[in-house]
Structure 1
Amino acid sequence: MDFNVETAAIFLSITITLLVLGVFIILFAFLFQRRQTQNRQDKAAMQAAFQQEILQTQLEVQNLTMQQLGRELHDNIGQLLSVLRLNLNVLEETVEDEGTRGQIAESNQIVEQTIADVRALTKSLDGDFVKDFGFIDSLSHELQRIRKTRRYQTEITTSGTPYSLGYQHEIVLFRIAQEVINNALKHAAATTLTVSVMYEPTNFEITIQDNGKGFDFEGVMKNGMSKSGAGLRNIQRRAELIGGKCTIDSQKGLGTTVTISIQRTQTGD
């Protein structure tokens, strides 16, 4: 009888020890797995923050470069054109031949138009223009500048009650819009640009559509080494930087539509 009790006690002790050991192993495995998951999340967060910091720096450098370029155009090219206009005015007054005077007057008009174009371009390059006049007026000015070339048709429509997105958001959106528009005119051979801006209580959305030749979006994005793919991914990353989402829809022969949407809670408003 004592032997059976002692055997049962030993068996119970072994069982309890195994149970405790099993619980310990399970708990250790759980904690280890959670630590591994946390490490991966921390690493991903650090990489995302690093990428965001790099992109933010790129945006700041781009904005400063554009502002510097705008000042150079205004201070150098603008002044040279003004001097040329004055010289043409003097020359027109001294020339007696009507035919020559007519040619000088025509050249003077071209210079006048060029001066106006340089001033308009200078404004579009200056980030302070967006700060002073707001996103919609700045974008309208950009489209008007393009339309004045008489080679393109542009249109902008807004819906809802406009509100401020905050300067940082608006300057990023404005630079993205400039790049999308430039791509449409330079690479897609577009002749018509339509921009729609929608202000909703909880969401902001801008859509830029062109009638250009379009492209195989999926094919371009799969080709990681292509310049076009890198440019499109950069546009999407810049939208993500301000908490937005950028979708691009394009097919060969059917033009391209770029849409950026931002939750209002993500903006600086």
Structure 2
Amino acid sequence: MHASQPEGRQLKLRDVIEAMRRLGIAARLEEPQAGSVTDARGAALAIVSADGMFLSANRSAAALLGYSSGELIGRRLLDMAPESDRATLAAQLSGDPAREFYSFSTLLAGRTGRPTRLVLHQQLIAADQNEDLARLTLFEEPLAPEELLEDDAQLSEAEARSRLKYLMIGQQRERQRLAADLHDGMGQALTLIKLMVEDARMRLRRGQAEDAAQKLDATVLQIRETIGEMRQICGELRPLALERLGLPAALSTLCRGVDRGAAHLLVHFHCDIDDRDVPEHLKADIFRVAQEALNNSVKHAAATEIRLALQRIETGLLLTIQDNGTGYDTRPLSLEAMSSTGLGLTGMQQRVESQGGFLSVHSSDNSGTLVSASWTL
């Protein structure tokens, strides 16, 4: 973790979710025709201070810049900008600190050192009077050059070709990102395993059987970790249970897993629709929202009972996750907890609402927390 990481700062999930809603509306109004690369892991989100220091970041934002979430916290946007762009970025960050929403384009170089053009959308997060201002920041990779976004007159055929081009660019960038994940994670892990096996073989040839056995035991542990990392990467691209089982069965399996894994917790599942009733492009988002909401209830709500339901309503689909806990959306979360849980659910909110849906979180000390997500069909 970076040496300058701030300590003691807390935010409320409710305030971050509301900031995400306002950010999404403002960004769509500002650039209604803009295209951007969407990470399969969800929106790249971070919470930054007024001067551009990372206070919290989700996995998508960290991966976009080549870091883990923990490594990114405490770093400064200015330090990631090429020297020739730092004065411009400093001016963009040092505007009116009370402005609610602001978007700007900048070059940022992550761990690789290669500058990438990114669009940053920043929304002020509601804070107590004694708190420094913090901004929810959405990082996007623009697909279209800025001059093309300003061209109003396009024939329908030309527009179709343009959209296809942007889709292909987005697919290519997502493939590059996946390749980087495989190279940096799997590639290094497999190289280490190869070296460990070669070391064990050399020890065997020298007659050091006990030392070789210890080295092979360590190799087995490394292989298990690598398998876990591979499953995580595949699961982030698309939950494997969706492919094997379909959405209703995948949600049921998810609920059973939480029920078995958490002591003194009972998870109920209800679904009155078939897998074929759910549009293909919504299935992963529905599963992710359920996954994030269950995770938050287990970690923060102190609940003994959770009810998850997916049902058909008059206007479309409704997913609800209700627990009987203490109500976590109004309770302050540390920035570390916000990275792993709050920004996860907030990222799913961005995905839901970008598809025309709506996500809300309501809670009280007496009735627990209710997470609702709806999609119009």
TM-score (norm 2): 0.39
Residue among 49, 53, 77 paired with 2:185: 77
Q: Provide the rounded CA distance (Å) in 1 between the counterparts of 2:312 and 2:359.
A: 17
In structure 2, distance between residues paired with 1:255 and 1:168: 31
Are the counterparts in 1 of residues 301 and 327 from structure 2 also a CA contact under 8 Å?
A: no
Which deviates the most, 110-119 or 205-214? 205-214
Q: Against the structure 1 CA distance between its residues 120 and 60, is the aligned structure 2 distance closer, same or farther, given a 3 Å change threshold? A: same
Match in the other structure for 1:121:
232
Q: Relative contact order (alpha carbons < 8 A, sep ≥ 6): 1 or 2 greater?
A: 2
Question: What is the Cα deviation at residue 201 of structure 1?
Answer: 7.3
1:74-129 CA-to-partner distances (Å, cap 9, x unmatched) read 23311221222233223333344454334323312221211211111111222597
Corresponding position: 1:168 with 2:281 = yes
What does the per-residue CA deviation read over 1:12-41, in whole Å, with 9 as the maximum and x for residues that have no partner?
xxxxxxxxxxxxxxxxxxxxxxxxxxxxxx
Structure 2: any 5+ residue segments left out of the alignment? Answer: 1-23, 45-59, 61-173, 333-337
Distance 1:154 1:118, change over 3 A: farther
Looking at structure 2, the residues matched to 56 and 182 of structure 1 have their Cα atoms a distance apart, in angstroms, of 35
Q: In structure 1, the residue corresponding to 2:215 is in which secondary structure?
A: helix
For residue 62 of structure 1, the aligned residue among 31, 36, 39 is 39
**What are the within-5 Å matches in structure 2 for residues 144-223 of structure 1?**
157=269, 159-160=271-272, 161-177=274-290, 179-180=292-293, 188=300, 196-200=308-312, 203-208=316-321, 214-215=327-328, 217=330
Map of 2:363 onto structure 1:
250
User: Letter of the aligned partner of 2:328 in structure 1?
Assistant: F
**Aligned twin of 1:20:** none
State how far apart, in whole Å, the 2-side matches of 1:156 and 1:91 are.
Answer: 51
Distance 2:262 2:321 in 1: 18
Q: Distance in 1 between matches of 2:197 and 2:38?
A: 41
Q: Structure 1 residues 104 and 215 mapped into 2: Cα distance closer, same or farther (>3 Å)?
A: same
Bigger Cα Rg = 1
Q: Partner amino acid for 1:105?
A: L
The equivalent residue for 1:90 is 198
- Answer yes or no: is the 8 Å Cα contact 2:247–2:287 preserved in 1: no
Q: 1:214 to 1:74 in 2, by over 3 A?
A: farther
Q: Which runs of 5+ in 1 are unaligned?
A: 1-46, 221-225
- CA apart distance, 1:212: 7.4
Superposed CA RMSD in Å reads 5.3
Cα deviation digits, residues 198-246 of structure 1 (max 9, x gap): 24375433334578764253x87xxxxx999998777556434434343
- Between the aligned partners of 2:180 and 2:355, the Cα distance in structure 1 is 30
2:64 corresponding residue in structure 1: none
The answer to whether the Cα contact below 8 Å between 1:208 and 1:257 also exists between their aligned partners in 2 is yes
Letter in 1 for 2:234: K
**Pairing partner for 2:221 from 93, 96, 110:** 110
Q: Distance in 2 between matches of 1:127 and 1:109?
A: 27
Cα distance in 1 between the residues matched to 2:36 and 2:197: 43
Distance 1:89 1:140 in 2: 40
* Partner amino acid, structure 2, of 1:249: H
Number of paired residues?
208
The C-alpha deviation readout for 1:36-81, integer Å capped at 9, x for no partner, is xxxxxxxxxxx96963786997984333875554432223311221
**How far apart, in 2, do the equivalents of 1:156 and 1:55 lie?**
40
Identity %: 18
Structure 1 Cα separation of the partners of residues 37 and 245 of structure 2: 19
| Greater strand proportion | 2
Counterparts of 1:165 and 1:56 in 2: how far apart (Å)?
Answer: 27
Structure 1: distance between partners of 2:33 and 2:284: 12
- 1:115 aligned partner, one-letter code: T
TM-score (norm 1): 0.51
